[in-house]
A and B are shown apart, each in its own frame.
Chain A
Amino acid sequence: MLEDIPVLSILTFLPLLGTLITLLLPQSRVRFIRGTAIAFTFLPLLLAIALYVSYEPIVGGGAFAEKLTWLSIPLNTEAGLADKGATSYRLLFDYRMGVDGLSLPLVLLTGAVASMASLASVYIRKRWKLYYALFLLLQTGMYGVFLARDLTLFFIFFELTLIPMFFLIGIWGYFGREQAANRFLVYNGLGSAFMLLAFLILIATAGFSATETASGTTLSFSGSYEVLLANLADPNAAVNQDSIMYLSDNLKWTAFILLVIAFGIKLPIFPFHTWMLKVHAEAAPPVVMIHSGILLKMGAYGLLRFGAFLLPGQLQSWAPVLATLGVINIVYGAILACAQKEFKLVLAYSSISHMGIVLLGIASLNEAGFEGAVFQSVSHGLISALLFLIVGSLHERAETTRIDELGGLASVVPFTSGILLTAGLASLGLPGLSGFVGEFLSFLGLFDSYPWLVAVGVLGLLFAAVYVLRSVLSMTYGPLPDRFAAIRDVRFVEALPMIALTALIVLLGVYPALMTDMMSHSFDGLLKLLQSKVGG
Chain B
Amino acid sequence: MDITFAQYAWFAPLFPLAAFAILTAMGRGLGRAGAWVATAASLLSFLLSLLIAIERLGGTAEDYTGRIEWLRAGSIMLHAGYEVTNLTSLMLVIVTFVALLVNLYSIGYMKDDERISVFFGYVALFTASMLGLVLADNLLTLYICWELVGVCSFLLIGFWFRKPEARAAAKKAFIVTRIGDLGLLLAILLLYWNMPNHALDFTSLYNVFHSQSDTLSASLTTLIALLIFLGAVGKSGQFPLHVWLPDAMEGPTPISALIHAATMVAAGVYLVVRTFDIFEASQAALAAVAIVGAFTAIFAAVIGLAQNDIKRVLAYSTVSQLGYMMLALGAGSTAAATFHLFTHAFFKALLFLAAGSVIHAIHTQDIREMGGLGRRMKITAWTFGIGALALSGIPPFSGFWSKDAVLAAALDESPWLFAVGVVAAFFTALYMARLFFLVFFGAPRGDAKAYAHAKKSPAVMTVPLVILAVLALLAGFVETPWNEWLGSWLSGEEEEGGINGLVVIASVGASLLGLYLGWLFYGRRSSSGNPAAEKASGLRRILERKFYVDELYELAFVRPLAALGRGLDAFDRVVVDGAVRLAGRSVQAAGKLNTRLLNGQIQAYALCALLGAVLLILAIAGRRFW
Contacts and interface: CB of A to CB of B under 8 A. Distances in A.
A3 to B, nearest CB: 26
A274 B566 CA distance: 16
Nearest to B166: A477
Given A186-B584, A274-B580, A436-B144, 16 more contacts: A270-B576, A274-B577, A336-B565, A336-B572, A339-B568, A367-B73, A431-B145, A443-B185, A444-B76, A444-B192, A447-B190, A448-B193, A469-B170, A469-B171, A512-B71, A516-B71
29 contacts: A274-B572, A274-B577, A274-B580, A335-B568, A336-B565, A336-B568, A339-B566, A368-B73, A430-B148, A431-B143, A432-B147, A436-B144, A437-B71, A441-B71, A443-B189, A458-B182, A458-B186, A459-B182, A462-B182, A465-B174, A473-B158, A473-B171, A478-B161, A478-B162, A512-B71, A516-B73, A517-B72, A520-B73, A527-B74
Chain A to chain B: the 5 pairs with minimum beta-carbon distance, closest first: A339-B565, A367-B74, A431-B144, A477-B167, A477-B161
Interface in A448-472: 448, 451, 454-455, 458-459, 461-462, 465-466, 469-470
A476 B167 CA distance: 10
B597 interface: no
A26 interface: no
A472 to B, nearest CB: 10
B70 A338 contact: no
Contact of B576 (A274, A411, A458, A469): A274
Interface of B is mostly: helix
B180 to A, nearest CB: 10
By size class, the interface of chain B is 35 or more
B572 A430 contact: no
A285 B147 CA distance: 31
Contact of A461 (B171, B182, B565): B182
A360 to B, nearest CB: 12
B75 interface: yes
B189 A512 contact: no
B29 to A, nearest CB: 12
A410 B161 contact: yes
A94 B330 CA distance: 69
Nearest to A437: B71
Contacts of A282: none
Contacts of A470: 171
A339 B143 contact: no
Interface in B562-596: 562, 564-566, 568-569, 572, 576-577, 579-580, 584
Contacts of B569: 336, 339-340
A466 B175 contact: yes
A2 B164 CA distance: 57
A451 B189 contact: yes
A367 B562 contact: no
B167 A473 contact: yes
Contacts of A436: 144, 147
B114 to A, nearest CB: 11
Given A476-B161, A516-B71, A520-B74, A431 B175 contact: no
B69 interface: yes
A469 B144 contact: no
Contacts of A516: 71-73
B178 A465 contact: yes
Most buried by B among A372, A408, A431, A448: A431
A205 B520 CA distance: 94
Nearest to A345: B569
B561 interface: yes
B561 A338 contact: yes
Given A367-B76, A430-B151, A431-B144, A411 B162 contact: yes
A477 B164 CA distance: 8
B119 to A, nearest CB: 14
A459 B182 CA distance: 8
A476 B162 CA distance: 9
A465 B174 CA distance: 8
A425 B158 CA distance: 15
A274 B572 CA distance: 8
A434 B230 CA distance: 25
Given A451-B190, A470-B171, A513-B69, A335 B577 contact: no
Contacts of A332: 568
A469 B174 contact: yes
B161 A431 contact: no
B147 A431 contact: yes
B162 A408 contact: yes
Nearest to B578: A274
B179 A462 contact: yes
Nearest to B185: A458
Contact of B76 (A273, A368, A474, A517): A368
A253 interface: no
A432 B580 CA distance: 40
Given A441-B73, A469-B171, A432 B565 contact: no
Given A332-B568, A461-B178, A462-B182, A444 B189 contact: yes
A172 to B, nearest CB: 24
A271 interface: yes
A480 interface: yes
A338 B74 contact: no
A367 B75 contact: yes
Contacts of A430: 147-148, 151
A155 interface: no
Contacts of A371: 73-74
Interface in B139-171: 143-145, 147-148, 151, 158, 161-164, 166-167, 170-171
Contact of A513 (B72, B74, B162, B565): B72
A74 interface: no
Contacts of B163: 478
Nearest to A515: B71
Contacts of A368: 73-74, 76
